[in-house]
């Protein structure tokens, strides 16, 4: 009986600590949201619920920087990159897993090699390429270099290997070409792989900031992370903390909303990407 | 006809990759080597300077500063990351209520842009109104210059990076923990092993591959550190948060020293590979 009491007490302490740990990860985001909605003079007090809710910070932000346009740019860039990675990744993954040809292993090892290559080596030459191609200040610079992803190719190759050959043979007898096999036979049987690769790619593209900082100078073409970064460090926030936080909220919001609905997929996708590396 | 079609077809499917590889990987690698022997600001013609960039790097105080800063970052970030991640993963691996909620909470910062996290933590670490200094002053301690004291700035960023990434590593360790066969623990129970002994002699060796992966990913992350110092400190105070990528960025896009920036990139890449090889040797023991 006494033992039971101690057990319950220990359990309560355990859960209390666990909840506190979870709050350490959640509270900063809650504070960021409420601070962005609070009047400027209340920010210093750090309360979670402001005495009045105001959208003034967001109005100031909309007046100062083209954040709507940046949202549009980010959607265009991240969607195009994701589509490219899925289409090309499955074509290449299919060739590497389902077709027999000389040089297949060589290509596969080249792909593995490029995955281990630190990006610090290619950063400067790739910028110079963008200059020579005339791609500075275009969507092309943000999209085309990212449309092929070694990790996605490896994932597709792995996945297509697990699909029964009968399915492909049957399609071939019906006279399907290779592209139709990939996109009409294999894709419907690969939804989890498509979702996993799609989420990782979209998220990475959405959050990418170094490359846009390098190749985009025109404010009208900036993606959200870049515009928010330059706003935060460039002095245009004029030390108005609330406005700065509002810009961070707008940047985080789309991914956070997606995360709320697809939390399980996000975690699985990221975990599998970590495991494969 | 059919057999010719068959040999050409794979290469048609592979052509996007081959073009991409030649243009965005192979050419840049070769070109970066060429750049290291030249001085170039993109606008005027390239000027061959032999090994000057290489000798310059060895005497460049800021290059070594960036290397040192990264090592400071890693020496705090890696142990902290592993301890926190294993602890929380062990807890989540028990029969606890609301496990998806807790896992989801720890994972939250992983999905959010580093820009958001940097802006947010810049406020939390603020000298006068930041929550950390408020807590310190409320229990009667003095304020800490988290981001303005050269001794604290890099450790602060290392702690923040741990907060941002640890959720991913919790999930990876959870996967690792679930691969440990239950029979091992049962056998240890029969032998009368304590919880700590079981963890030390069964769990830890079994999740060693996961630990190795976390070390590698964190090392690459440390050498890729950019947006955090860019937003929070600009590399200061006294260059104490100047990171490898931030230094490359400054050389290339503030001073337009393309040759020297390419040399820096090459050296940092070599250091990354070197550090990973050493870590591999060390952990396999």
Q: What is the pLDDT of residue B140?
A: 83
Q: What's the rounded Cα separation, in Å, for the pair B259 and B7?
A: 42
Nearest-by-Cβ selection for A248 from B103, B116, B175 = B116
User: Distance, in angstroms, between A191 CA and closest chain B CA?
Assistant: 21
**CB contact at 8 A, B154 and B75:** no
Total number of domains in chain B: 1
The answer on pLDDT for B145 being more than 90 is no
Q: Using one digit for the tens of pLDDT, what is the confidence trace for A210-262? A: 999 999 999 999 999 999 999 988 767 666 788 889 999 999 999 999 898 88
Q: Which residue has the tokens 């939250």?
A: B108
Element (H, E) at B86: helix B61-93
The domain of B111 spans: 54-124+153-284
User: Distance, in angstroms, between B266 CA and closest chain A CA?
Assistant: 5
Q: Between helices B61-93 and B208-223, what is the axis angle to 10°? A: 140
Closest CA to B275 of B224, B236, B226, B209: B224
pLDDT band at A47 (very low <50, low <70, confident <90, very high): low
Q: What's the rounded Cα separation, in Å, for the pair A123 and A131?
A: 13
CATH number, residue B175 = 1.10.3720.10
Q: What is the pLDDT of residue B144?
A: 87
pLDDT band at A274 (very low <50, low <70, confident <90, very high): low
B201 part of a folded domain: yes
Please give the biggest Cα pair distance in chain B. 86
Mean pLDDT over residues B115-124, rounded?
92
Residue A157, both tokens: 């190759």
The answer on pLDDT for B67 being more than 80 is yes
Closest CA to A62 of A247, A249, A257: A247
Which residues of B fall within a CB distance of 8 Å from A107? Answer: 14, 17
pLDDT band at B3 (very low <50, low <70, confident <90, very high): low
B165 part of a folded domain: yes
The answer for residues whose C-beta is within 8 angstroms of residue A168's C-beta and 6 or more apart is A98, A181, A185, A186
- Residue to test with chain A: of B33, B63, B115, most A Cβ within 10 A: B115
pLDDT band at B127 (very low <50, low <70, confident <90, very high): confident
- The size of chain A, in residues, is 277
Mean pLDDT over residues B241-269, rounded?
93
The answer on pLDDT for A277 being more than 50 is no
The answer on pLDDT for B278 being more than 50 is yes
B203 part of a folded domain: yes
Closest chain A residue to the Cα of B256, Cα to Cα = A124
Instruction: Give percent of chain A above pLDDT 90.
Output: 52
The answer for residues whose C-beta is within 8 angstroms of residue B66's C-beta and 6 or more apart is B242, B243, B244, B246, B247
**Ordered structural domains, chain A, with CATH:** 2-54 (no CATH), 57-276 (1.10.3720.10)
Residue B46, both tokens: 């390239």
Q: Which of A172-186, A218-232, B242-256 has the lowest mean pLDDT?
A: A172-186
B129 part of a folded domain: no
Residue B117, both tokens: 């996290």
In this predicted complex, what is the ipTM? 0.90
Q: Using one digit for the tens of pLDDT, what is the confidence trace for B179-234? A: 888 888 888 888 888 888 888 888 888 888 889 888 998 999 999 999 999 999 98
Q: What is the pLDDT of residue B285?
A: 64
B199 part of a folded domain: yes
Test B108 with A123 for CB contact under 8 angstroms: no
B19 part of a folded domain: no
Q: What's the rounded Cα separation, in Å, for the pair A134 and B163?
A: 40
The answer on pLDDT for B1 being more than 50 is no
Q: What's the rounded Cα separation, in Å, for the pair A73 and B79?
A: 39
């Amino acid at each position: 009986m006494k033992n039971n009491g101690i057990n319950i007490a220990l359990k309560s302490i355990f859960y209390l600590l666990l909840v506190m740990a979870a709050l350490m990860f959640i509270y900063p985001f809650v504070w960021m949201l409420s601070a962005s909605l609070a009047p400027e003079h209340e920010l210093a007090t750090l309360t979670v619920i402001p005495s009045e809710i105001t959208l003034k910070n967001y109005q100031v932000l909309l007046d100062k920087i083209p954040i709507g346009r940046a949202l549009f740019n980010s959607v265009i860039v991240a969607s195009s990159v994701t589509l490219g990675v899925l289409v090309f990744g499955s074509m290449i993954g299919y060739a590497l897993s389902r077709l027999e040809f000389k040089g297949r292993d060589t290509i596969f090892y080249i792909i593995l090699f490029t995955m281990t290559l630190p990006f610090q080596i290619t950063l400067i030459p790739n910028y110079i390429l963008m200059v020579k191609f005339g791609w500075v200040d275009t969507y092309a610079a943000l999209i085309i270099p990212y449309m092929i992803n070694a990790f996605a190719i490896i994932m597709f190759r792995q996945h297509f290997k697990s699909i029964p050959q009968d399915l492909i043979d049957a399609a071939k007898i019906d006279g399907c070409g290779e592209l139709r096999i990939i996109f009409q036979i294999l894709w419907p049987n690969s939804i989890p792989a498509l979702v996993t690769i799609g989420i990782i790619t979209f998220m990475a593209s959405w959050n990418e900031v170094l490359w846009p900082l390098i190749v985009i100078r025109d404010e009208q073409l900036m993606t959200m992370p870049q515009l928010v970064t330059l706003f935060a460090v460039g002095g245009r926030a004029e030390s108005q903390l609330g406005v700065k936080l509002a810009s961070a909220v707008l940047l985080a919001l789309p991914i956070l909303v997606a995360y709320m609905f697809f939390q399980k997929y996000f975690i699985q996708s990221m975990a599998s990407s970590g495991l494969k590396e | 006809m059919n057999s010719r079609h068959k040999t050409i077809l794979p290469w048609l499917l592979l052509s996007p990759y081959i073009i991409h590889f030649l243009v965005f990987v192979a050419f840049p690698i070769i070109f970066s080597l060429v750049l290291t022997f030249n001085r170039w600001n993109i606008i005027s013609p390239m000027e061959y300077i032999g090994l000057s960039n290489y000798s310059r790097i060895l005497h460049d105080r800021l290059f070594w500063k960036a290397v040192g800063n990264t090592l400071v970052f890693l020496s705090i970030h890696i142990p902290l990351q592993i301890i926190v991640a294993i602890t929380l993963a062990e807890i989540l691996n028990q029969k606890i209520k609301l496990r998806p909620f807790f896992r989801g909470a720890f994972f939250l910062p992983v999905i959010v842009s580093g820009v958001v996290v940097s802006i947010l933590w810049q406020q939390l670490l603020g000298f006068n109104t930041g929550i950390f200094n408020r807590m310190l002053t409320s229990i009667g301690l003095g304020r800490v210059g988290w981001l303005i004291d050269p001794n604290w700035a890099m450790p602060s960023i290392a702690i923040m990076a741990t907060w941002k990434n640890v959720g991913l590593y919790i999930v990876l360790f959870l996967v690792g923990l679930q691969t440990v066969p239950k029979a091992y623990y049962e056998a240890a129970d029969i032998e009368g092993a304590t919880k700590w002994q079981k963890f030390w002699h069964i769990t830890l060796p079994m999740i060693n591959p996961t630990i190795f992966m976390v070390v590698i990913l964190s090392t690459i992350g440390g050498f890729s550190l950019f947006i955090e110092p860019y937003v929070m400190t600009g590399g200061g105070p006294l260059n104490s948060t100047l990171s490898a990528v931030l230094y490359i960025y400054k050389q290339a896009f503030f001073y337009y020293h393309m040759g020297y920036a390419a040399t820096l990139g090459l050296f940092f890449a070599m250091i990354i590979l070197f550090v990973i090889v050493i870590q591999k040797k060390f952990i396999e023991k």
